Amino acid sequence: MFKTLAAALGVALTVGASTVAQAATITGAGATFPAPVYAKWAESYKASTGTALNYQAIGSGGGIKQINAKTVDFGASDKPLKPEDQEKNGLTQFPTVMGGVVPVMNLEGFKPGQIKLTGTQLADIYRGVIKRWDDPLLQLTNKGLAMPHLPITVVHRSDGSGTTFLFTSYLAMKAPHWASDVGASDSVNWPTGLGGKGNDGVAAMVKQTPGAIGYVEYAYAKQNNLTYALMQNKAGKFVAPTAPAFAAAAAGADWSKAPGFYLLLLDQPGANSWPITGATFILMHKEQANPAAGAEVLKFFDWAYKNGDAAAQQLDYVPMPASVKTLIRKAWSQQIKAGGKAVYASR
């Protein structure tokens, strides 16, 4: 496993840069949420095939812009595009892995999972209504815990972010004031707080700011040794962010009834479900101007579906079920074409 997240991202960039003259290079850009697993896959794929991946973790908003501009072979986003938006831009999307968005804090002396939060409390913190860690509202769910009399510094994403989309969509589900005053999107008008670029930027800012709270994909919390909160789920249970909890949230997902693979996994039922769970997606043009490049992208993700589950699980992502991978491959053969011919050939 990578020692630091920076190392993980570095592998992805180095893999692409070191083989430009030697073999095919796949280019992609977008979400930071899946960057650690894409980097791990890229390392193994290059060793296996000689083909490199140059992936720029610039945020989901940037990934959507770059694929629409046709400057990369694929875009990546944790905010799934609705079927009508895919159609309008000539795109198709498919999920790669699932994971969890996690509230992380910088509170000296507190261990991961000691503090409990509800969705409503989290929304009030991010609205600037709850300003200190010993606020009476937080004491309600943390009875017997000596909460510090410390100001809360809110940290959020400064870039267009699918992680933000998942986070704000969840807050909108749990708090009417958030839904009406702020809303849910990959970029919102934050009522308070400091901005960090990417999951890694938020993690770094939380780590260096006493009293801070932020939200990151779980791999970033784990690799930065950040303290996380237990979250109250739909069943009323306070649960820890773990791969089994993410899998529990995804257990009832019926991807076969999700047109364009548009599906959210937020606030799902089940005693063990993590409430801020989501899939991350790849975006490609249906009509490939460069069939060879499109074929290389699909070869890479086909390989990852066959060989990458262990690496994903090692980084606490949840692989897609085999039945969903079959649906995805069928969609590739039907939707991604060049000159009327399918780019993907089943292997």
Is it true that 5-99+276-342 and 101-248 share their CATH fold? yes
Here the tokens at position 41 are 């896959």
Instruction: Output the pTM of the full model.
Output: 0.91
Q: Check: CB of residue 75 under 8 Å from CB of residue 29.
A: yes
Predicted pLDDT of residue 345: 79
The CATH architecture annotation of domain 101-248 reads 3-Layer(aba) Sandwich (3.40)
Is residue 89 pLDDT above 50, yes or no? yes
Say how many C-beta atoms besides its own lie within 10 A of residue 209's C-beta.
16
Average pLDDT, the chain: 93
Q: How many CB atoms lie within 10 A of CB 322?
A: 9
pLDDT at site 17: 36
Residues 167-225 pLDDT 10s: 999 999 999 999 999 999 999 999 999 999 999 999 999 999 999 999 999 999 999 99
Cβ(98)–Cβ(279) under 8 Å?
yes
What is the structure's pLDDT at 23? Answer: 65
Q: Residue 4 above 60 pLDDT?
A: no
Q: Which residue has the tokens 């073999």?
A: 23
User: Does position 1 have pLDDT exceeding 90, yes or no?
Assistant: no
pLDDT at residue 21 above 70? Answer: no
pLDDT confidence tier of residue 27, bands split at 50, 70 and 90 = very high
CB neighbourhood size of 147 (10 A): 16
Q: How far is CA 295 from CA 21, 73, 274, in A?
A: 19, 10, 36
Summarised one tens digit per residue, pLDDT across range 225-274 is: 999 999 999 999 999 999 999 999 999 999 999 999 999 999 999 999 99
Going by C-alpha positions, the residue among 283, 284, 290, 294 that lies closest to residue 343 is: 294
| Residue range 73-95: mean pLDDT, rounded | 97
Contacts of 129 (CB under 8 A, 6+ apart): none
Q: Are strands 153-157 and 212-217 parallel, antiparallel or unpaired?
A: parallel
The pair of structure tokens assigned to 335 is 């939707």
Residue ranges of domains in the chain:
5-99+276-342, 101-248
SS3 of 294-346: the string is HHHHHHHHHHHHHHCHHHHHHCCCEECCHHHHHHHHHHHHHHCEECCEECCCC
Average pLDDT estimate for 11-21: 36
Task: Copy the structure tokens of residue 29.
Answer: 């850009």
User: Can you tell me the mean pLDDT for 287-299?
Assistant: 96
Q: Tell which CATH classification among 3.40.50.300, 3.40.190.10, 3.20.20.80, 3.40.1440.60 matches the domain 5-99+276-342.
A: 3.40.190.10
pLDDT in tens, 58-75: 999 999 999 999 999 999
pLDDT of residue 5: 41
Does residue 162 surpass a pLDDT of 60? yes
Q: Which residue has the tokens 């043009």?
A: 285
